[in-house]
Amino acid sequence: MQWMERTASLRMHPALVLPGVRSIVVLATNYLTDDLHDSSESVRGRIARYARGNDYHDYIAPRLQTLADLLSDAGRTQRSFVDSGPVLERDWAAACGISWHGKSTMGIHPRLGTWFFLSVILTTLELQTDAAITGRCGKCMRCIDACPTHAIVAPYRLDAGRCISYLTIENKGPIPLELRPALGAKIFGCDDCLDA
């Protein structure tokens, strides 16, 4: 994913994104729905659960802005991101106790599991730091075993070029022939490691 390489220095140094940053506020928004499979699956193909319904940017961004405005009222400067900027949302979520890194490389929340969006506010306000959560995967390998393309090549290591979510969303070229059978009916994303 070349777009991540282009902004690597910004991702590593939040002060380059917001000069004077003192704290990073990370929020998780649940997107778990009761339907285990898209009802249109047999006709149109399978769509990852996060992409069903309205665009999450449209409902998280205004809520995030409301919180950022409250921080601005305290005389501070903020920058907010909903999966849209050069910030390491997943790593910051783990550092502040929202989630831990699963062996699939996805964040896992103690109650929400893997079914959440992350959003971030960089602020010049100094806030108390929350403690990180210790990983709870133990010997479990279900996410690794569930991956249809074997994109999780080792615990905590993902070959994005084999990941169905990458192949059906980010990838600009054809899907490699050898991986196509593993896609099954998936046409936009994959929930297999998340379901596991």
The residue count for the chain: 196
Question: DSSP per residue over 77-126, as a string?
Answer: -EEEESS-SS--HHHHHHHTTS-EE-TTS-EEBTTTBT-EEEEEEEESS-
28/103 Cα distance (integer angstroms): 20
Please give the backbone phi and psi of residue 21, each rounded to the nearest 5 degrees, phi first: -60, 135
Helix (H, G, I), strand (E, B) or coil at 45: coil
Annotated catalytic residue, options 58, 83, 130, 159: 83
| 195 carries an active-site annotation | no
Terminal CA-to-CA distance of the chain, rounded, Å?
Answer: 25
Q: Catalytic residues, which ones?
A: 83
